[in-house]
Amino acid sequence: MRYLLVLPFIALTFVCWGIYGPVLHKGQVALGEDPTSATEDGKSSAPPQLSRLRPFVCVGLAYFLVAVVVPLLALRMYGEQGKWTSSGAFWSLAAGAAGAMGALGIIMAFKSGGKPVYVMPLVFGLAPVVNTLATIFMNRSFRETSRIFLAAIIVVALGAAGVMFFSKAGGGNIVRLSVFDLLLVVLSILLTALCWGIYGPVLHRGQVKMEGSRLRPLLCVGLAYLVIAVIIPTPILITAGEVGSWQVAGTVWSLAGGAAGAVGALGIILAFHFGGKPILVMPLVFGIAPVINTAMELLNGARDVPVPLAFYVSLVMVAMGAVGVLVFAPKPQVH
């Protein structure tokens, strides 16, 4: 019966994180520079120049509103269980910093020419692998690894390669990228997978250190986003500038992407609060979020480009492999 309280918050997270990439990419395009606007005939073969810092600032502002202002008001008016601790604040701030750097990695992948149709599934497929491998290293549980677990990692790797190269919406894009841009896309995806892979365990530790508090860890996450995604980029944007300009539509879409990420983080915290365990919560989130992402992309225009069956097979492989990595992860022996 208790898990009936957990499932709605898991659903909230995989929906929010599933739409995060496409929505943020739309804002990034609108805040960038369209080369057709500089030509007399309104036609240009050059790709649009995407903004980097403007959507990142919008994400930070959205996190500040959702994860700082709202929790502060709720704590002041109603309070909650738990208490502030230095160790809890440290781990929660670290989780927020990891989340913000992961968001920057997504923006850099899009800026370098990556598309949400394959960037986000790769992130959601690789992040649980990073998470599990880091846990194995911390717990020194290498001897407990099973063949099923190793097979699941191989399935994720094969599925990830298929997602990139079997999609005409994604693979054709990769062929057109230069070697340098392709390297930046891959490195950006790996950066996000690394940051988001450690995000859940670190945030959960901060929540435990604050004796099960819900709003305090979320508030720390929002503060970390404020520093990394707003306070640091804003002076750079003012002094150095970048392509594009502030547009209402782009600002709204970028803020919506940031809000989706923040609400998803809240869903994770609430799922843990009501008794959800990482072994249940994270497989569902990482397994279903890329499906939501792909559906969004197909509805957002990728449906006009024929996508081969192999792409969908690869997408299923990534999702199932990620779930298998988390479910069959080696458990440390109890001494």
How does pLDDT run across 54-74, given as a tens digit for each residue? 999 999 999 999 989 988 998
Predicted confidence at residue 86, as pLDDT, reads 93
Band the pLDDT of 191: cuts 50, 70, 90: very high
Predicted confidence at residue 226, as pLDDT, reads 94
List, in order, residues 6 or more apart from 89 with CB less than 8 Å away.
Answer: 206, 210, 216, 220
Average pLDDT of 315-326? Answer: 75
Residue of higher predicted confidence among 136 and 124: 124
pTM above 0.85, yes or no: no
Residue of higher predicted confidence among 282 and 42: 282
Alpha-carbon distance of 117 to 142, in angstroms, equals 34
Average pLDDT of 232-259? Answer: 90
CB neighbours (10 Å) of residue 41?
6
The dihedrals phi and psi of 114, each to the nearest 5 degrees, come to -70, 155
Band the pLDDT of 331: cuts 50, 70, 90: low
Taking 90 as the threshold, does the pLDDT of residue 153 lie above it?
no
Alpha-carbon distance of 170 to 190, in angstroms, equals 17
Band the pLDDT of 311: cuts 50, 70, 90: confident
Q: Say which DSSP state 143 is in.
A: G
Predicted confidence at residue 335, as pLDDT, reads 45
Look over the chain and give the mean of its residue pLDDT values, rounded to a whole number: 81
Predicted confidence at residue 14, as pLDDT, reads 87
User: What tokens were used for 153?
Assistant: 């990692």
